Amino acid sequence: MQLDQKRKPRTSQRTAQLESKDVLLEPGKTVERGSGYEHVKLESFGLFESRASVRNIRGDAVSEGPILPSEYCQQRLDALYERVSACREEFIGYPLNLDFDYSEVLAPFLRFSLNNVGDPYQRVPTNLSALQTHDFEREVLEIFCGLTGGSPADVSGYVTNGGTEGNMYGLYLAREVLPRGIVYFSDACHYSVFKILRVLQMRSVRIRTDGRGEMDYNHLRETLQANRDLPAIVFANIGSTMTGAIDSLPRIKAAVSEAATCRSYIHCDAALSGFVLPFAPNPQPFGFSDGADSISVSGHKLIGSPIPCGVVLARRCHVEGIGSNIEYVGALDTTLSGSRNGLTPLVLWYAFRSRGIRTVRDMVRRALDVAAYATEQLRAAGVDAWRHENSLIVVFPRPSECLVKRWHLAAQADIAHLVTMPHVSRNQG
Ligand SMILES: Cc1ncc(COP(=O)(O)O)c(C=O)c1O
């Protein structure tokens, strides 16, 4: 495939920089660097044969590899570009929006080390303020806060590396607020939840689901009752990974109060649906006004981003309990990571501000419409397809491996799904 000039990756400048540095290493010359940790000796110098062996502190060779000519680097990158561009047409199995292009506006920022260390709401500038995009990050948080029925005075948060980090943050806050709490999570949770529970060493109980991935509230109530003396931390799926099932916050709250559980905390995992439900005509409740204590959403899913990202929000009273001032960076530490991505807040900010909320709403409504159409068409073709209300996930019996591969479908046991993300149209297939 001939790459069109406008979209061709501009990598030659970078490889030229690498080359000029490499020229410093002349054949046979030994270069000593720093504290003796690196000892670089160039053994030969020529196309594809340039090799430098690096010795570690004990004098062992630790790496050896060719210094690649820029044309070769360019070929590798062009081949990658071709592969990722080509998969777009048939990529319908995973919730990744491929319909965006921030390259014109945001590419200049790839030259800077944007680092959002610290709490985006801290009032005193950090030692890295010049390199931070906290102001853009706060605007993104305020947009999501508005979409989830929160008030910026009561809700805080930050831009994460993705939904998993947001879920870990929600459960971490819950554990700090309710150290003896038991986490109630369902069979349909994303696989990362098991890992998070292990990392945080939280006690947990797995709740059954109905045949379509929604929590079994009777089982939840019984288990809550059996542990009523211990606080309950309920992990609610607001759009489960495989079937898009939405756990009902009103029914969870009813189960908690019927079981007379002493204290409770609800975290909402809204990885995909967090940016769908606010724009759906008749959304299921999942916001702060519906009882959520924290909510996590992925940014690269519905909105689309070249770098995975997400947003986590939590009631300010929970976040205040974990903050500490770090003199070294002059930052208030309320987040999981130290250094944080300063570019992804720009991506999310630009996605909303350059299009406006109404355009995002129209994009979501179109995607819901395509999901309804795909379900209808599959059913008309005799496939037992179905979807939950307000879900972009269309579920059907697992087809042949050949179809799974061709359409990059997500398959698990006897079902598979497609997801009508904004780049998927009625004409596909
Ligand atoms: C329901 C749910 N939660 C969490 C995640 C993890 O999100 P991320 O991949 O952004 O870390 C996913 C990812 O597909 C998901 O579907």
Q: Which amino acid is at 279?
A: F
- The verdict on pTM exceeding 0.85 is yes
Distance CA(230)–CA(311), nearest Å, equals 30
Does residue 429 form part of some domain? no
Which whole number is the average pLDDT over 414-421?
Answer: 98
Q: Is a pLDDT exceeding 50 seen at residue 359?
A: yes
Same domain (yes/no): 372, 338: no
Lowest mean pLDDT among 25-29, 61-65, 319-323: 25-29
**Strand-pair partners of 397:** 415
Q: Is a pLDDT exceeding 60 seen at residue 419?
A: yes
Same domain (yes/no): 187, 63: no
Q: HEC string of 243-269?
A: CCCECCHHHHHHHHHHCCCCCEEEEEE
Same domain (yes/no): 50, 174: no
Structural domain boundaries, residue 251: 108-353
Question: What's the CA-to-centroid distance between 366 and ligand 1, angstroms?
Answer: 22
Does residue 426 form part of some domain? no
* Choice from 167, 171, 190, 269 to test ligand 1 binding pocket (greatest atom count within 8 A of CB): 190
Look at residue 42 and give its three-state secondary structure. Answer: strand
Judged on CB neighbours under 10 Å (0-12, 13-18, 19+), 358 is exposed
pLDDT level of residue 18 (50, 70, 90 thresholds): very low
Q: Whose CA is nearest to atom 16 of ligand 1?
A: 241
Same domain (yes/no): 371, 348: no
- The closest-lying atom of ligand 1 relative to the alpha carbon of residue 270 is 1
Per-residue pLDDT at 310:
98
Same domain (yes/no): 327, 406: no
Long-range contacts, 409-413 (Cβ 8 Å, 24+): 409/92, 409/93, 410/93, 410/94, 410/242, 412/242
Q: Are 119 and 135 in contact (CB under 8 A)?
A: no
pLDDT in tens, 81-136: 999 999 888 999 999 999 999 999 999 999 999 999 999 998 788 888 999 999 99
Same domain (yes/no): 341, 203: yes
Count up the domains in the chain and report the number. Answer: 3
Pocket of ligand 1 (CB under 6 A): 162-164, 167, 190, 192, 237, 239-241, 269, 271-272, 298, 308, 310
Judged on CB neighbours under 10 Å (0-12, 13-18, 19+), 104 is exposed
Active site includes 129? Answer: no
pLDDT in tens, 28-37: 444 444 433 3
Which whole number is the average pLDDT over 213-227?
Answer: 97
Same domain (yes/no): 253, 290: yes
Does residue 102 form part of some domain? no
Same domain (yes/no): 370, 330: no
pLDDT level of residue 357 (50, 70, 90 thresholds): very high
Same domain (yes/no): 118, 78: no
Q: Is a pLDDT exceeding 80 seen at residue 404?
A: yes
Per-residue pLDDT at 123:
79
Same domain (yes/no): 209, 243: yes
